[in-house]
Every structure is written in C-alpha cells, then in structure tokens.
Amino acid sequence: MHGTGVPIVTPFSDGAIDHERLTSLVEWLEAAGVDFLVPCGSTGEAPLLTIDERVEVIETVAEATDLPVLAGTGQEGLEPTLETTERAAAAGADAALVITPSYYGSDDAELAAYYRDVADASPIPIYLYSVPKFTDHALSPRTVGALAGHENIAGIKDSSGSLGSIQRIVDHTDEESFSVLVGSGSTYAAGLAAGADGGVLAVANVVPEAASEVFRLHREGRTDEARDRNAAFVELNHAVTARFGVPGVKAALELRDQPAGRLRRPLRPLEADDETELESILSRALES
C-alpha cells in the first residue's frame, strides 16, 4: 500500500448498505487517480457495521476495482478480529487494517502481543491502525518498530496528526517491506517528505484528485509544489475530520454530485448553516 488511499464512506439507503452507490463511488475515486481503497475504516462507519455488513462492503469494493484493497477488520477482541479478517480475505481484501482495541485500556505490551497473534493467524498482511482520537492510545514508535519485523505485519496508518510521530515511526522502521501511512490530510505532504510511503486520508473521499496530486508531485521530487497543493485543502480537511466528521464527508460528497446516502445513528446530518459553510470551504479548495 503506497500512495494515496481512501477510507471510503459506506452509503446507506433505508438503513441498508447501498451497494450501487458504493460501486459508483469506487469508480469515481479510481478515475480520480487514487492508489488504493480502504473500506470499513473510521470514515466508513465501521463501528456501526456488523461483521456480515463489513464483509459485504469489502466484497463490493473488491469486485468494483482493480486497485489494492486494505480492509478495516479490527474489532475489540482477538476472536472477532480474526473472524472478520479471514472473511475479508475471502471477500477479496489484499490486506487488513486493524485498529488498536481500546475498551479496556490496553498498554503497548498487551497490544504488541495482540498484533503478533493477529498477524500469525491472518491469511493476509496486517496493517496497524493507531488513531488516538478514537482510542485514547497511540502506539509508540518503539513498539511499531518491534512489530515491523514480523513477516506478516506490513505497515501502519498513523492518525495521530503529529508529524513528529510520523518521523519517529519512520526512524524506527527501516524494514523495506513496512509501509508508513499518514492518517491526516493536513500533514500529508510533510509526512511524505519525512519518509512516509503514502496516506489514508478521509478528505480524499471529497477531493481525490488533489490528494492524489500531492503524492504525484512528491514522487516527482516537486516537494514545494506538493506542500502548496496540500495547503489548498487543509481547511477542508479540518472541516470533514475534526469539525464535522463523517457527516461532513457525506455532505461534501453530495455537494460534489457523488451522493453517499444516509448516516447510521447516532450520527446525524449537518445543520443547514453548517452545510452552507462547508459548501464555501469546499468551493475554495476546488478553486485553489
């Protein structure tokens, strides 16, 4: 998994997954130049999906694209994570993104043992997923470095939003087969310059062309232009992550004529004033 990845939203209609809309979104994102797709991540409302629903989403995405598929399979316990991972592999996933369990406040030693057991049993490569915003725990770079030596642990998505964290993880993982992925659209170009291999960016749902261009410019050695391109959607990224979250992503997709369906409760649509403000922010990002 290198380049720009999209934690694709999950469209719903009347409470059920809208597979037709999901396929349409996959085709739009692929045409926009993204490098891989991530169904059932945080932006895909994964915590609100059953295991069966996750498998259905993964299968639909895998069937609709030729891009690599990194499927979110992490649950709060080992057994359901293994079940979801095994079924995701059968559904066409190329690798599994496994969030750090958080309910019981596990420390790094417990999490490292957990990830090794998942990786030992998984039929597909495992990517660590450190997202302290939701789990209240960030995997330490030292722990990530120790796990990077496992033959079936292929990378990490670091969603701390900290450039220092990305740099330290890069420094602790010199394995050529281990990918460091930026989880924040605001630090994408800077993370790439610090040695990251790509990113998994919620904002890439909304501006896949711009996010993909950041990676292309970086790969061509045009780092200043990559930073400028990234800067053009930093405010949009803040709006659809820290401020409005998944409801903001889906509202912005609607504004781009890519309807993403309803939200699962307890999530609710944006208020009219917030949607008007989001439209203005999106317009500025698209004009930049």
- Binding-site residues for pyruvate, in ranges, read 43, 200
Inter-residue contact 182 to 166 (CB < 8 Å): yes
Active site residue 127: no
* Residue 240 in tokens: 């659809």
Active site residue 103: no
The one catalytic residue among 115, 127, 157, 250 = 157
Please enumerate, by residue number, every residue annotated as part of a binding site.
43, 200
Inter-residue contact 4 to 210 (CB < 8 Å): no
Fill in the amino acid letter for 266: P
- Residues pairing with 17 in the sheet: 12
Whether the bond into 269 is cis, omega within 30 of 0:
no
Alpha helices in the chain (DSSP H): 19-31, 51-64, 78-91, 108-121, 132-135, 141-147, 163-172, 188-193, 208-219, 223-231, 234-238, 245-255, 272-287
Of the candidates 48, 51, 61, the residue with the CA atom closest to the CA atom of residue 19: 61
- Residues pairing with 16 in the sheet: 13
- Residues pairing with 6 in the sheet: 37
Of the candidates 210, 122, 181, the residue with the CA atom closest to the CA atom of residue 3: 181
The one catalytic residue among 115, 129, 188, 250 = 129
User: By three-state DSSP, how is residue 208 classified?
Assistant: helix
Of the candidates 125, 205, 192, 123, the residue with the CA atom closest to the CA atom of residue 158: 192
> What do you get for the CA distance between the two ends of the chain, in Å?
28
Could you give the residue numbers annotated as active site? 129, 157
